[in-house]
Amino acid sequence: MSLREKKVERKKEEIRKSAMSVIAEKGYHATTMEDIAAKLLMTKGSVYYYFKDKESLVYESHKLLLEQSMEQLQNVLAEELTSVAKLRKAMVVHMENVITGRTDFFIGVKPDQVFEGEHLQEILHLRNQYSDCMNRLIQQGMEDGSFVQVDMKIVNYIILGAMNNAVIWYSPKGSKSIEELANSIADYLLKILL
Amino acid sequence: MSLREKKVERKKEEIRKSAMSVIAEKGYHATTMEDIAAKLLMTKGSVYYYFKDKESLVYESHKLLLEQSMEQLQNVLAEELTSVAKLRKAMVVHMENVITGRTDFFIGVKPDQVFEGEHLQEILHLRNQYSDCMNRLIQQGMEDGSFVQVDMKIVNYIILGAMNNAVIWYSPKGSKSIEELANSIADYLLKILL
Amino acid sequence: MSLREKKVERKKEEIRKSAMSVIAEKGYHATTMEDIAAKLLMTKGSVYYYFKDKESLVYESHKLLLEQSMEQLQNVLAEELTSVAKLRKAMVVHMENVITGRTDFFIGVKPDQVFEGEHLQEILHLRNQYSDCMNRLIQQGMEDGSFVQVDMKIVNYIILGAMNNAVIWYSPKGSKSIEELANSIADYLLKILL
Amino acid sequence: MSLREKKVERKKEEIRKSAMSVIAEKGYHATTMEDIAAKLLMTKGSVYYYFKDKESLVYESHKLLLEQSMEQLQNVLAEELTSVAKLRKAMVVHMENVITGRTDFFIGVKPDQVFEGEHLQEILHLRNQYSDCMNRLIQQGMEDGSFVQVDMKIVNYIILGAMNNAVIWYSPKGSKSIEELANSIADYLLKILL
DNA sequence: TATGAATGAGTGTTCATTCAT
DNA sequence: GATGAATGAACACTCATTCAT
């Protein structure tokens, strides 16, 4: 990657971050290109130099976030840990992504309210992949006897729902750090499986 | 209430339902007054005959839903049941409201993205009231020894998050009825407290 | 005129008064049919029973006012008075009409902003007639030597402009009654002619 | 001021002029943003690039006009002239502003039908300032014996009313130039004070 | 007579998007 | 690369008007 390309990539990253951050706060439709640009002391026009349109900007932002989360999740999966430890770690990582990732995107806004066509397919695909990974974690635990038998799909939704919900009420001013909170939640949720 | 008033109230109820339904599908900002009206074979203008503006329509809709849920929750609280039975019943009722109530409102959309001033205060108040009621259910169970000791607040958020999330993935085409599903979820969540 | 017709006429008069009054306060375009009806504890629909449309209501109201003013002016003209006394009396009568008649119509709103076609012609005709009458008063005074020679048209506009303007700043709370005020203004304006 | 800023200012001035001109003809409420834009071969959207909303556009236009008139009036006040000459000059200047300024705003439309809050306060303030200045002119003349004693307030209203009224009937096609007309009117009005 | 209900054309306003410079 | 300017499609909301009852 040339120096120029790196610069462009860095700029795009800045814009993506700004976009996700504003959208997390105001919601997709209520967020204007101007909001996103203003936060970076740019103008609307400049943003369009880097991104074709609003949907593309959000698509790329969201995709990256999902991919990064996916990668982390897979790293966890590859670690040499007990099923319980793995799932707990996956949960903690997930919560950190949800909260610091400023993404109120795992929840609430249904992807088809924002994306269309191939973009929508890709996002749904990534989400499913992520979900599948979580399912595998649960599956493994059930197989090796660490977890009791449960309806994997439902429990998965419970876990994801409980964790994603945190983005709504989590406040950095609270007494617990994200990690502590994540661990607490993970502990409680694990009870379902033990 | 006069016959005329009843008619008006019925019409308003129709509109509210239509509004909640379209919003649940497309999101608040993406839903136009025309969408809401069209679904009832009305015109925009007619909707404005019944509701001052979009925000008021959504406010009234949402408020009513919260109040009805609250009332049901309080009925459950007043019943002569064990703590476990009470909480399970509360959960089932909640899930039915979430799913049939077409409300993607307990989740995702932060109220302050939609409401302002007194309306916002009232909605937050109702939500808190609801939350408090759930907390009380948990508290009672802990006090009478039915539940183990937990961080009430966190567990409450977990429960609500898990249940509200259902609105996103529940499909009436699935093999389980709402009640069955609700019971399954309730069973799993109760494990956290037993 | 039958009893029924009398009743109708009385109702129409009420509506006209209400219309002129609200329009004087809020302006023609800013005044809604609802405003006019509400002031009489009626509904919009009822007003339409008596008047074809908004323009007709205002046209009839305005026409009547002009005709009544015209009649009064002609009565003054017919009286046995000196030119000076006549003109003063005409001024006082005019000011009373302007102020109590709640008509901010002699001024400000150009008739062609409100009326069209025949209605417009008729209103312009009535205004001209009124103006001509005032001119005749001045003319007579100049002919019998009571007034100095002036450019009738200009002086007429000055007089009407000065008097009509009163509707903007006159306040019933002031120390002077309408008649006192009208006499003051008339005295000052007469200086132009003496 | 940079070149760009100058360009913007010129554009805004164009828009203001267009606005005042259309409003003078059709009235505030009957004038649409599209009317204003169309006259400049612009689109509505472009006007909004320069002005926040209709009220602001009109506010700025009107304010500027009042300020310019005020400045001219104060220049007249500062000149070394007899009271009579000063007042006549003030009148001529005022009439020129009224007529060329395309403002049917000194009259007819009550400010509170258009402006609210601080904007309204500012406009009323400017009007009062202007009125006060005229009053001072009369006052001075009375003090130095040039004018007879009169009720300043009433005479002031007469003068302003008479002059503002001209905007309604003045036609550039008439035989007199604005200046000639203004001088005629001034001569007549001065008779009140001499 | 009176009115509740419905309507549709119109108005102010926003905002994603484009493009010349 | 960046942006100031312009645009047009879309939307919330208003209001004169109609009409069945």
Q: What is the pLDDT of residue C107?
A: 46
Is pLDDT of A133 > 60? yes
Instruction: State whether C188 and D184 contact (CB < 8 Å).
Output: no
Nearest to D184 among C109, C154, C188 (CB): C154
In angstroms, the Cα distances linking C98 to A51, B7, C182, D144 are 64, 47, 11, 36
Please answer whether residues A88 and A179 qualify as being in contact, where contact means their C-beta atoms are separated by less than 8 angstroms: no
Residues C174 and C97 in one domain: yes
Lowest mean pLDDT: which of A37-41, B119-123, B177-181, C40-44? Answer: B177-181
Q: Do chains C and B touch (3 or more CB pairs under 8 A)?
A: no
Residues A36 and A69 in one domain: no
Q: What is the pLDDT of residue A108?
A: 54
Q: How far apart are CA D164 and CA C163, in angstroms?
A: 12
Domain CATH number, residue A136 = 1.10.357.10
**Can you tell me which residue has the tokens 């219309």?**
C19
Q: What is the pLDDT of residue D59?
A: 95
Q: What is the pLDDT of residue A67?
A: 92
Please answer whether residues C131 and C138 qualify as being in contact, where contact means their C-beta atoms are separated by less than 8 angstroms: no
Q: What is the pLDDT of residue A110?
A: 81
Q: Do chains C and D touch (3 or more CB pairs under 8 A)?
A: yes
The arithmetic mean of pLDDT across residues B178-182, rounded, is 88
Instruction: State whether B165 and A165 contact (CB < 8 Å).
Output: yes
Main-chain phi, psi angles of A32, to 5 degrees: -100, 160
Is pLDDT of A107 > 80? no
Q: What is the pLDDT of residue A164?
A: 86
Q: How far apart are CA C138 and CA D99, in angstroms?
A: 26
Is pLDDT of C106 > 70? no
Nearest to D107 among C107, C157, C189 (CB): C107
Residues D71 and D153 in one domain: yes
Q: pLDDT tens, D99-115? A: 876 665 554 578 888 99
Q: How far apart are CA B157 and CA A163, in angstroms?
A: 9
Q: What is the pLDDT of residue B179?
A: 87
Contacts of B161 in chain A (CB under 8 A): 161-166
The arithmetic mean of pLDDT across residues A140-160, rounded, is 94
Positions of E strands within B82-182: none
Instruction: State whether B169 and A188 contact (CB < 8 Å).
Output: no
CA B57, C1' F21: Å apart? 28
Chains touching chain A through at least 3 C-beta pairs below 8 angstroms are B
Q: Which nucleotide is nearest to A50 (CA to C1')?
A: F1
Q: Is B170 exposed, middle or buried (0-12, 13-18, 19+ CB in 10 A)?
A: middle
Q: pLDDT tens, A164-179? A: 888 777 888 888 888 8
Domain CATH number, residue B47 = 1.10.10.60
Contacts of C45 (CB under 8 A, 6+ apart): none
Contacts of C169 (CB under 8 A, 6+ apart): D157
Q: How far apart are CA A15 and CA A36, in angstroms?
A: 7
Q: Where are the alpha helices (DSSP H) in D42-177?
A: 44-50, 54-78, 83-100, 117-143, 152-169
Contacts of B170 in chain A (CB under 8 A): none
CA D107, C1' E9: Å apart? 31
Please answer whether residues D160 and C107 qualify as being in contact, where contact means their C-beta atoms are separated by less than 8 angstroms: no
Residues B128 and B143 in one domain: yes
Residues A30 and A67 in one domain: no
**Can you tell me which residue has the tokens 């990539």?**
A9
Residues A105 and A159 in one domain: yes
Contacts of B157 (CB under 8 A, 6+ apart): A162, A165, A166, A169
Domain that holds residue A161: 53-190
Residues of A with CB under 8 A from a CB of B: 26-30, 104, 107-110, 113, 150-151, 154-155, 157-166, 168-169, 181, 184-185, 188-189, 191-192
Q: What is the pLDDT of residue A105?
A: 55
Last residue of a domain, one of A51, A66, A81: A51
Residues C67 and C129 in one domain: yes
Nearest to B166 among A30, A109, A157 (CB): A157
Chain E nucleotides covered by protein, CB below 7 Å: 1-20
Contacts of B155 in chain A (CB under 8 A): 188
Nearest to B29 among A27, A185, A191 (CB): A27
Residues A47 and A72 in one domain: no
Q: pLDDT tens, A22-70? A: 988 888 899 999 999 999 999 999 999 999 999 999 999 999 989 999 9
Crossing angle between the packed helical segments D178-193 and D83-100, to the nearest 10 degrees? 140
∠ CA A23-A27-A29, rounded to 5°:
105
Instruction: State whether B165 and A157 contact (CB < 8 Å).
Output: yes
Q: What is the pLDDT of residue B102?
A: 60
Residue at B76: amino acid letter: V
Cα distance from B147 to chain A (closest Cα, Å)?
13
Main-chain phi, psi angles of D7, to 5 degrees: -60, -45
The arithmetic mean of pLDDT across residues C63-88, rounded, is 93
Q: How far apart are CA C120 and CA C126, in angstroms?
A: 10
Q: pLDDT category, C54, cuts 50, 70, 90?
A: very high
Last residue of a domain, one of C31, C51, C71: C51
Q: Which element (helix H / strand E) includes C76?
A: helix C54-78
Enumerate residue ranges in chain D where pLDDT < 50. 107
Q: pLDDT tens, B5-42? A: 899 999 999 999 999 989 888 889 999 999 999 999 99
∠ CA C99-C100-C105, rounded to 5°:
55
Percentage, residues of chain B above pLDDT 90: 71
Q: What is the pLDDT of residue D37?
A: 97
Instruction: State whether C109 and D160 contact (CB < 8 Å).
Output: no
Residue at D192: amino acid letter: I
Q: How far apart are CA D159 and CA B60, in angstroms?
A: 56
Of the candidates B133, B117, B143, B130, the one whose C-alpha atom is nearest the C-alpha of residue B59 is B117
Residues D76 and D142 in one domain: yes
Q: How far apart are CA A18 and CA B166, in angstroms?
A: 30
Q: How far apart are CA A62 and CA A104, in angstroms?
A: 10
Q: pLDDT category, C25, cuts 50, 70, 90?
A: confident
Task: Supply A53's token pair.
Answer: 């349109």
Give the HSE-up count for residue B113: Cα atoms under 13 Å, Cβ half-sphere. 21
Instruction: State whether D165 and C166 contact (CB < 8 Å).
Output: no
Q: Which element (helix H / strand E) includes C144?
A: none
Give the HSE-up count for residue D57: Cα atoms under 13 Å, Cβ half-sphere. 29
Q: Is the dihedral of CA A34, A36, A40, A44 positive or negative?
A: negative
Percentage, residues of chain C above pLDDT 70: 95
Q: How far apart are CA D100 and CA D98, in angstroms?
A: 6
User: With helix as H, strand as E and coil as C, how does chain A read?
Assistant: CCHHHHHHHHHHHHHHHHHHHHHHHHCCCCCCHHHHHHHCCCCHHHHHHHCCCHHHHHHHHHHHHHHHHHHHHHHHHHCCCCHHHHHHHHHHHHHHHHHHCCCCCCCCCCHHHCCCHHHHHHHHHHHHHHHHHHHHHHHHHHHCCCCCCCCHHHHHHHHHHHHHHHHHHCCCCCCCCHHHHHHHHHHHHHCCCC
Task: Supply A176's token pair.
Answer: 């617990």
- For an interface test with B, which of A23, A116, A158, A167 has the most B Cβ atoms less than 10 Å from its Cβ? A158
Residues B70 and B91 in one domain: yes
Chain F nucleotides covered by protein, CB below 7 Å: 1-20
**Can you tell me which residue has the tokens 């009957």?**
D30
Instruction: State whether A154 and B27 contact (CB < 8 Å).
Output: no
> How many Å is the Cα radius of gyration of chain C?
18
Instruction: State whether C158 and D188 contact (CB < 8 Å).
Output: yes
Contacts of B135 in chain A (CB under 8 A): none
Domains in chain D: how many in total?
2
Contacts of B27 in chain A (CB under 8 A): 27-29, 109-110, 113
Average pLDDT of chain B, as a whole number: 91
Nearest to C168 among D26, D110, D163 (CB): D110
Q: How far apart are CA B158 and CA B122, in angstroms?
A: 24
Contacts of B24 (CB under 8 A, 6+ apart): B102, B103, B104, B105, B167
In angstroms, the Cα distances linking B48 to B17, B36, C37 are 15, 11, 20
Last residue of a domain, one of A51, A67, A83: A51
Main-chain phi, psi angles of D80, to 5 degrees: -90, 85
Contacts of A185 in chain B (CB under 8 A): 154, 158
Contacts of D162 in chain C (CB under 8 A): 157-159, 161-162, 165
Q: What is the pLDDT of residue D165?
A: 83
Is pLDDT of C108 > 60? no
Q: How far apart are CA D104 and CA D22, in angstroms?
A: 10
Residues B42 and B67 in one domain: no
Q: In chain B, what is the straight-line distance between the N-terminal and C-terminal CA atoms, in Å?
A: 48
Cα distance from C128 to chain D (closest Cα, Å)?
12
CA D34, C1' E13: Å apart? 12
Q: How far is CA A144 from the centre of its chain?
A: 28
Residue nearest to nucleotide F17 (CA to C1'): C53
Q: How far apart are CA D2 and CA D9, in angstroms?
A: 10
Residues A124 and A161 in one domain: yes
What helix, strand, coil percent values describe chain B, rounded to 5?
75, 0, 25
Size of interface A-B (CB pairs under 8 A): 97
The arithmetic mean of pLDDT across residues A87-106, rounded, is 80
Q: pLDDT tens, B102-148? A: 665 554 578 888 999 999 999 999 999 999 999 999 999 999 999 99
Residues of C with CB under 8 A from a CB of D: 26-30, 104, 107-110, 113, 150-151, 154-155, 157-166, 168-169, 181, 184-185, 188-189, 191-192
